[in-house]
Structure 1
Amino acid sequence: MSESYAFIGLGHLGGNLAASLIRNGFAVTVFDRDSAAVERLVALGATAADSAADAAARAGNAITCLPSPKVSEAVLAGPGGLLEGLPKGGTWIEMSTNGRDEIVRLAALASGVETLECPVTGGVHLAAAGKITALVGGDAALYERHRAAIEAMCARSFLMGPIGSAAVIKVITNMLAFIHLVAAGEALMLAKQGGLDLAQSYHAIVASSGNSFVHETESQLVLNGSYDIGFTMDLALKDLGFALGMGKDFGVPLELASRVNAIFEQGKAAYGGSAWSTRIVKLLEDAVGTDLRAPGFPARLEI
């Protein structure tokens, strides 16, 4: 493998992406404030660094997967950040979810460094199996240079256009996912209150014109009662905020997204921002006074 990578941000998603790089033979240097996360990757073959700058200097290229544009900016340009370590002509691959304006601004900050935005979609369980999808924005030649690494982490990748393009499509896919999640909860509650067997109802919807990826996956966690999707209410609200901002900027009224955003605000108030986003369905369970449980569904999604 001709390219080496620093990887900063080893949470639920980033840790799995970095592990896929290692499994596929790439030299990976890692840094994270969570020492246990670093140790897990070192056990797989990564090298630990003392800072983001140290990791970037050792590898020559850097990948980040972080919770917000504010954190991304701090890791990129703050003290001990990537720009202190990346060599001129090195590449920063940003796999965090950002708004279009945020990633354009951050790319401009990365003076002397080439930038690819590469948010992913599909869920933590697909990242763990190397089967998640990458949405890429940036120069086509730069994408080809790092395509082997992207495809080591992701089963499919789509070059959407210049920097900012991937942010738009990623926010769109997440907006759809949250709308589908709320809709799936309402559908299952109608089935429950209509006297139907919930497990049979789940499978019937999967085989119907009303199916969605979110129903196939997250409805299982609702029916189990774990809600454990590895993605929080705070992150959902961040992404919905990006979507509503784009709607305003582009002149598109987003009535469904606005309503779903309000529902997630209720969910955060009820259960906390660190609650799993799938727990949003519990608002409906609490309102009706019954839960949505059925045997035979997993506590976590697996491939």
Structure 2
Amino acid sequence: MFGKLGFIGAGKMGGAVARRLATGGFEVHVHDLDPAAVQRCVDAGAVAAGSASAAVKDAEVVFTSLPMPEHVLTTWTRLAPELAEGASAVDVSTIDPGTVEQAAAAVGEYGHPFVTCALGKTPAAAEDGAIPLFVGGPGEAVSALRPLFERIGETTHEFESAGAAAMFKLISNLIGMTNVAVLAEGYVLARAAGITPEQFSAALADTGASSFQSQVRLPWLVAGDFEARFGVELAAKDVRLALDAGARQGIASPVAAQGLAQLLSAIAHGHGGEDAVAVAKVLDPQGRLLGSAGNETADE
């Protein structure tokens, strides 16, 4: 059994993972800039840490779940000297392989392994441990951490390195978020053609066009529910990171680039804080086809 676990970043996915560990009997010390996010974890059995350093102190394993690559790198660079002897660093954020390499070097300088444990699916699924994990890092460290991974998710896909696991997660989001953009186009086109939401949903589910995104996000789109389970801004960040990583390898992704353009357009129209499926609003700015809900912005 593990001793103290440190957890830095308790947003939608990070908070779900921290709570999952806490309800599994692990001693999880959580730090986040948002006190309410920490309290939700405390309510599940975690311990509030007053600072990142407090979360790290004497922890056997330290997790980070942060929104941007620069946050991850800055955090690990600062905290690496504070890690306890024998501690492992685990990042569950969605970041690029270059940042992973830099963070691993910062942690490795003090003799600690760095492991990527990228997360799939949604916050609701993460609360139930019903998510896939994309894991990579030093073999011995990954093996030692397996009991934690088994509590966090239902399937662990292992890659040869922390960077490869991070890259796969970016590729997954590139495919998924581009799919959301196309799904939004198809739905708006169907509504313009007089096809009802019910007809579209039922028929699409019986075709090769059905996908995880249509199963999960189409009902939200039909209901005008744009609460950010995975926001437009984060989706755009991930697709951009994937495109940039591909470009560095000489690989173009023109279809995904168009998907990114739609996400950026949604941000420009004030929908950055809404769920990724809000890209549909750009296609129907007056709400003629989506209804009044489709013309609301995150600020209204």
Cα deviation digits, residues 110-143 of structure 1 (max 9, x gap): 1221110111111112112211111011122211
Residue type matched to 1:66 in 2? L
Q: Partner residue of 1:71?
A: 71
Identity of aligned residues (%): 27
Name the SS for the 1:274 alignment partner: coil
Residue type matched to 2:232 in 1? M
Q: 1:158 to 1:207 in 2, by over 3 A?
A: same
Return the TM-score normalized by structure 2: 0.92
Q: 1:195 to 1:207 in 2, by over 3 A?
A: same
Q: Structure 1 CA distance, aligned partners of 2:5 and 2:199?
A: 46
Cα deviation digits, residues 35-75 of structure 1 (max 9, x gap): 11112212221112221122111322101110011111222
Residue type matched to 1:106 in 2? A
Report how many residues are paired. Answer: 291
Q: Partner residue of 1:24?
A: 24
Q: Structure 2 CA distance, aligned partners of 1:131 and 1:4?
A: 24
Residue type matched to 1:73 in 2? L
Is the 1:15–1:41 contact (alpha carbons within 8 Å) kept by the matching residues of 2? Answer: yes
Q: For 1:108, which of 64, 84, 105 is the aligned residue?
A: 105
RMSD of aligned C-alpha atoms? 1.8
Q: Structure 2 CA distance, aligned partners of 1:213 and 1:292?
A: 24
Name the SS for the 1:6 alignment partner: strand
Q: Partner residue of 1:254?
A: 253
Residue type matched to 2:69 in 1? P
Whether 1:235 aligns to 2:234 is yes
Residue type matched to 2:93 in 1? S
Extract structure 1 runs of 4+ deviating beyond 3 A: none
Q: For 2:87, which of 87, 90, 94 is the aligned residue?
A: 90
- Which is further off, 172-181 or 276-285? 276-285
Cα deviation digits, residues 164-186 of structure 1 (max 9, x gap): 00111101000011111011112
Is the 1:198–1:292 contact (alpha carbons within 8 Å) kept by the matching residues of 2? Answer: no
- Which is further off, 232-241 or 14-23? 232-241
Is the 1:31–1:48 contact (alpha carbons within 8 Å) kept by the matching residues of 2? Answer: yes
Q: What displacement does 1:20 show?
A: 0.5
Is the 2:233–2:272 contact (alpha carbons within 8 Å) kept by the matching residues of 1? Answer: yes
Q: Structure 1 CA distance, aligned partners of 2:76 and 2:51?
A: 11
- Which is further off, 205-214 or 187-196? 187-196
Is the 1:218–1:229 contact (alpha carbons within 8 Å) kept by the matching residues of 2? Answer: no
Q: Structure 2 CA distance, aligned partners of 1:269 and 1:248?
A: 24
Map 1:50-199 to 2 at 5 A. Answer: 50-78=50-78, 82-110=79-107, 111=109, 112-199=111-198
Residue type matched to 1:242 in 2? L
Q: Partner residue of 1:206?
A: 205
Q: What displacement does 1:266 show?
A: 0.8
Cα deviation digits, residues 166-216 of structure 1 (max 9, x gap): 111101000011111011112212221222221132122112111110011
Q: Partner residue of 2:296?
A: none
Residue type matched to 1:268 in 2? I
Q: What displacement does 1:4 show?
A: 3.2
Cα deviation digits, residues 216-246 of structure 1 (max 9, x gap): 1011111111122422222112111111112
Return the TM-score normalized by structure 1: 0.91
| Structure 1 gap segments, 5+ residues each | 295-303
Is the 1:140–1:159 contact (alpha carbons within 8 Å) kept by the matching residues of 2? Answer: no
Map 1:209-228 to 2 at 5 A. Answer: 209-228=208-227
Residue type matched to 2:115 in 1? L
Q: Partner residue of 1:266?
A: 265
Whether 1:10 aligns to 2:10 is yes
Residue type matched to 1:182 in 2? A
| Structure 2 gap segments, 5+ residues each | 294-300
Q: Partner residue of 2:282?
A: 283
Is the 1:224–1:293 contact (alpha carbons within 8 Å) kept by the matching residues of 2? Answer: no
Is the 1:268–1:275 contact (alpha carbons within 8 Å) kept by the matching residues of 2? Answer: no
Q: Structure 2 CA distance, aligned partners of 1:73 and 1:224?
A: 39
Q: Partner residue of 2:298?
A: none
